[in-house]
Amino acid sequence: MASFIAPQVFFMYQWLLFDADNTLWDFSAAEAASLQATLRQTDLEWSDQLLGIYREINHEAWSEYERGLFDSQKLRVVRFERLLERFRVAGDPEELSALYRAGLAASDHLMKGARTTLEQLGKHYRLGLVTNGLKEVQRPRLINTGMQDTFEAITISDEIGIAKPEAGFFDHTFAQMGRPDPAEVLVIGDNAIADIGGAKAYGCAAAWIQLPGNTKQPPLPPDYVIGGVADLVKLLGRS
């Protein structure tokens, strides 16, 4: 359930910085479709259980990447190495990773209300995109969904070698933005650590999209809790 506060308090914000996956783009839907197509190249039998296991592996791999335990090149492959090992089947993890990423790049799944929300809020705020994503996935999706000109600032961790929640990630973003006061910036995302923890530590306000099943609490309390990106229009009192 969204937590709403009187709209007049939001005139302080000049910038809205959006996470990408499961904030604007429906990564869960794209992930399932791309993984199912990719695993046809293996002896693995598709099932909801297999998808759940892959998601656990993928989540852990991304957490390790965000903690700096390995780089994005390792991230690309390690998920499929671990999946093949888990089920003890043969396969080329690099080839599977390439197929999977190509499927993600071709996807155009958006979260409900994402496009309309950006169109409405773009009339009143400057917009940025901040994502711990892979460049060969995120850049094509911007084009696929016609959003390549929506954001004045775009930071993709794979392109700069630094991931949220590191301060250097936000330093890079704020340099693109002309270095505004962090208090004038609202970060919106679903990841409790990377999005909310990173934003709050940098001095920004944060709106946490708490998706069903997402019970891990941010290390620093978010300013607002919403159920989806479409709630922002009402939250900010803009239409």
Task: Give the pLDDT of residue 239.
Answer: 59
Q: What is the pLDDT of residues 166-188, one digit of tens each?
A: 999 999 999 999 999 999 999 99
Q: Encoding tokens for residue 233?
A: 């229009």
Give the per-residue pLDDT at 213. Answer: 81
User: Which stretches of 22-106 are DSSP H helices?
Assistant: 27-38, 48-66, 72-87, 93-105
Amino acid sitting at position 64: E
Can you give the pLDDT of all 239 residues of the chain as single tens digits? Answer: 445 444 444 558 999 999 999 999 999 999 999 999 999 999 999 999 999 999 999 999 999 999 999 999 999 999 999 999 999 999 999 999 999 999 999 999 999 999 999 999 999 999 999 999 999 999 999 999 999 999 999 999 999 999 999 999 999 999 999 999 999 999 999 999 999 999 999 999 999 999 888 878 999 999 999 999 999 999 998 65
pLDDT of 164: 96
Residue 11: per-residue pLDDT:
58
Query: In one letter, which amino acid is 100?
Result: Y
End-to-end Cα distance, the chain: 20
Mean of pLDDT over the chain: 92
Q: What is the Cα–Cα distance from 230 to 168, expressed in whole angstroms?
A: 29
Note the pLDDT of residue 8: 46
- The angle at the Cα of 137, spanning 192 to 139, to the nearest 5 degrees, equals 100
The closest alpha carbon to 21, from 218, 211, 237, belongs to 211
pTM for this prediction: 0.89
Question: What does residue 32 show for φ and ψ, rounded to 5 degrees?
Answer: -60, -45
> Hey, is 225 helix, strand or coil?
strand
Instruction: With H, G, I as helix, E, B as strand and everything else as coil, classify residue 14.
Output: coil
Residue at 145: amino acid letter: T
